[in-house]
A and B are shown apart, each in its own frame.
Chain A
Amino acid sequence: MGIADYFRERRKQQRGSASVAKERLQIIVSHERSQRDGPDYLPMLREELLQVVRRYVTVDPDAVKVEVDRQEDHEVLELNITLPEEAERVR
């Protein structure tokens, strides 16, 4: 561990664990909200999309993200597919 890392770690500890707790909570809560507020078919849609993508590219099970974003008067279905690095592709 470099000296810079050492000081960064130290600073983190001094800042207290509450800020880490808050960050983690913000992430998990927003993730869980997007899942529960979405329509019932989201998990199935995600699963099927994953199968289609996998016909062409090898991806991790969590490479496909499907979320519904609610805006004032309409909803946006957001699909996010993370492709692997060039070297890991099947073809």
Chain B
Amino acid sequence: MSRIIVVTSGKGGVGKTTTAASLAAGLAQSGYRTAVVDFDVGLRNLDLVMGCERRVVFDFVNVINEDARLNQALIKDKRLDNLALLPASQTRDKDALTAEGVERVIEELRAEFDYIVCDSPAGIERGANLAAYHADDAVVVTNPEVSSVRDSDRVLGLLASRTRRAEQGEPPVREHLLLSRYDPQRVKKGDMLSVEDVREILAVNLLGVIPESKAVLNASNAGVPVILEDDADAGQAYSDAVARYLGEQRPHRFLEVERKGLLGRMFGGQ
């Protein structure tokens, strides 16, 4: 039985696409057949973050309109052979995705993949609803900042009422909090909400904490999901999150200000 995971947030620019790419790559690395679907119609980005923008021929809307078959539109990842991307369309027509069309494509994906990761557009309107509708799991990406936390709470409300599971009275969507762009230094100074603060407010299972990291920009510049960068803090944090998603117990890392060694203190001080 395949599982559908929506990566969502309400607020824009908090790290959904970064997370969708790494989550999908991590699941594929763990041996699962994984598809990642870009729902951000008109603002295709996942292809760039995954480094396959030049291989896009057909897209999600082409498949919905039956201008192309699913297998013609899916792009196989060059690094991980059980990972594939379904790119978003660049059309400006926001209604190009239809509920029936999405359902049909999801059903078709279920037949071939263990995990289907849906990268939601920002907002809590139609596009976000379509991306979340079929979800079994939701990864709610949140930054430690007031408007992001508030929007996450609204998204949690939407997951509890406007999804297929909610409408059909099935067990609810499993919700996971992914706190991203976390800066322990600023938390220590008291300028940034702490993990505990955000957990207390949202009261959702914490899947992971991704530190604010230069590695994220570097990885997206290179078109590599950051989780594949073994040496990067953010990459390791994503690996932990994927392992936790798959049921492993792992302590949270990168929550404390790094203690610098003597040399670090002498030369790397702020």
A residues neighboring B (CB under 8 Å): 14-19, 21-22, 24-26, 28-29, 32-33, 36-37
Contact = CB atoms under 8 A, between A and B. Distances in A.
A25 B190 contact: no
A58 to B, nearest CB: 33
Contacts of A21: 145-146, 193, 197
B191 A16 contact: yes
B154 A18 contact: no
Interface in B93-151: 145-146, 149-150
Interface residues of B, number: 19
Given A29-B150, A29-B153, A33-B157, A22 B197 contact: yes
A36 B194 CA distance: 26
B197 A18 contact: yes
A15 B189 CA distance: 8
Contacts of B192: 18
Contacts, number: 46
Given A21-B146, A25-B201, A36 B157 contact: yes
Contact of B190 (A16, A29, A37): A16
B189 A16 contact: yes
Interface SS of chain A: helix, strand, loop or mixed? helix
25 contacts: A14-B190, A16-B189, A16-B190, A16-B191, A17-B191, A18-B190, A18-B192, A18-B194, A18-B197, A19-B190, A22-B197, A22-B200, A22-B201, A25-B150, A25-B193, A25-B201, A28-B150, A29-B153, A29-B201, A32-B150, A32-B154, A32-B157, A33-B153, A33-B157, A36-B154
Contact of A18 (B150, B187, B202): B187
Nearest to A17: B191
B190 A15 contact: yes
A28 to B, nearest CB: 6
A19 B201 CA distance: 12
Given A32-B154, A33-B153, A22 B190 contact: no
Given A25-B149, A25-B201, A28-B150, A18 B191 contact: yes
Given A25-B146, A29-B153, A18 B201 contact: no
**Leading 10 A-B pairs by shortest Cβ distance:** A16-B190, A22-B197, A36-B157, A29-B153, A21-B146, A18-B190, A18-B193, A25-B201, A16-B191, A25-B149
A60 B157 CA distance: 29
Interface in B166-193: 187, 189-193
Given A22-B201, A25-B149, A17 B190 contact: yes
Contacts of A24: 146
Contacts of A36: 154, 157, 161
A33 B190 CA distance: 27
B193 A22 contact: yes
A14 B190 CA distance: 8
A29 to B, nearest CB: 5
Contacts of B189: 16
A28 B150 CA distance: 8
